[in-house]
Amino acid sequence: MIRASNILRVGFALAVWCGAALAADPLPPEKIGVATAPVPTPHRLYLTDLQIAHITDGVVHIVDGQSFKYLGMFSTGLFGITALTSDSSEMLVASTYYTKRNRGDRFDQLEAFDTKTFALKKEIQIPAKHAMALPYKGTIAPSVDDAWVFIQNATPLSSVTVVDHKAWKVTAEIPTLGCWIVLPSQSNPRRFATLCGDGTLVTVTLNEKGDSATQARSEKLFDAEKDPLFVQGERVGDSYYFVSYEGNVKVINVGGDVAKVEDAWSLVDDADKKAGWKPGGYQLQAVHAATKRLYVGMHDAAKNGSHKNPAKEIWVFDLATKKRIQRAPGSNSIAMALTKEAKPTLYAYDGINLNFVRYETAPELKPVASGDKVGDFAGLIETH
């Protein structure tokens, strides 16, 4: 009886309100709804946040870099690793679930969130081995044509799960013992390379079905002991630009059967070395192919263990001349990414103030604006 009488009462009250509305123009009754995601721009930023203090509750924050307005989020769960598809239409997430939240049976999934609607588009179970890693670029990666998704595994033994993106099924698990990070090739979408602990790269080439692969190990291309490469590679065609702990650039081509070094040079001169300037951060550099620019987060007085320090400065190099052409304030950057534009904007993530800083890149690199705090334990930016 309670229900019926209340409906009458509510109905009466609403009728009264409606009468009032006509008489004196109060605010009209409103309808609740769900917002439509805004049309993406090149300045839309995706920030992957591990949330270490609440490890099962990872997210990707979606922010408009022009207004720094918060647009929404994707839930990524326990050590979710993330990558935009090459066409930016989906955010790919590999994550781990337990049937009882923190316990029970483990299962892993690859999930695709629609960047147009922010809704979960599709999901598929994958081998329960996905690398529970901080969000480094290349822990998960689409092929350049988005036909394949490559997912780093660690049990801690390394392997790579291959997913046919169109058929949306797992086709293979490729053992890559002692190697880490997927580096897709541009010229051959069924090929990727991976960095190995002995200083070699292993190049994996899948067959057409993606269910078997050949592997070829390069010569030793870097010294993993004395001058390790940061795993954050910036791709231009088939070439990946890496920087090393000691401040050397190495350009490695992954287009062929076997990876090879194309070029190598140093970011630091004798004076820089004396002051201890070295690269540091998580996503610590960015490359823009058209304008031939390399941006690297640097800190001075570097010492054993400072290689993840926030940037004191961001150094700008001309890839043609291999010369430093500018030093800009570092904004405590621990992650940075360029917009995919002919005249790019650089976005840095300040690891101390936990906010985005926008830099114009021309005529020279310059911080121009910063947003409010976003994220708690974030380390990877992607631009739409």
Partner 1 sequence: MKWFDEFFERQARAVAQKTSRRSALTKISRALVGTAFLLPVLPFARVAQAAHGGGAAPDAKLDPMNDTHCEYWRYCSLDGFLCTCCGGSVTKCPPGSQASSVTWIGTCHNPDDGRDYIVSYNDCCGIASCGRCFCNANEGERPGYRLSVHNDVNWCMGNESSIYHCTVSVVLGVSGGAG
Stretch that binds partner 1, among 252-260, 319-327, 359-367, 372-380 (CB under 8 A): 372-380
By CB under 8 A, tell whether 52 contacts partner 1: yes
Residue 49 CA from chain centroid, whole number: 10
Q: Based on CB atoms, which residue is closest to its own copies, 3 or 303?
A: 3
By CB under 8 A, tell whether 2 contacts its own copies: yes
Is there a contact between 60 and 47 (Cβ–Cβ < 8 Å)?
yes
Residues 208-247 that bind its own copies (CB under 8 A): none
Q: What does DSSP say about strands 44-49 and 58-64: parallel, antiparallel, or unpaired?
A: antiparallel
Is there a contact between 183 and 160 (Cβ–Cβ < 8 Å)?
no
Half-sphere exposure of 18 (CA within 13 A, CB side): 6
By CB under 8 A, tell whether 321 contacts partner 1: no
* Contacts of 373 by beta carbon, 8 Å cutoff, 6+ apart: 353, 354, 355
Is there a contact between 162 and 170 (Cβ–Cβ < 8 Å)?
yes
Q: What are phi and psi of 45, to 5 degrees?
A: -115, 140
Q: Based on CB atoms, which residue is closest to its own copies, 100 or 303?
A: 100
Residues 183-202 that bind partner 1 (CB under 8 A): 194-198
What is the x/- site pattern for partner 1, positions 70-99, by CB under 8 A? xxxxxx--xx----------------x-x-
CB of 99 to its own copies, least distance (A): 7
Residues 234-293 that bind partner 1 (CB under 8 A): none
By CB under 8 A, tell whether 377 contacts its own copies: no
Cα separation of 68 and 373, whole Å? 10
**Which residue in the set 66, 97, 231, 289 belongs to the binding site for its own copies (CB under 8 A)?**
97
Half-sphere exposure of 327 (CA within 13 A, CB side): 10
Q: How many residues form the binding site for partner 1 (CB under 8 A)?
A: 102
Where does this chain bind its own copies (CB under 8 A)? 2, 51, 53-54, 56-57, 75, 77, 97, 99-102, 177-178
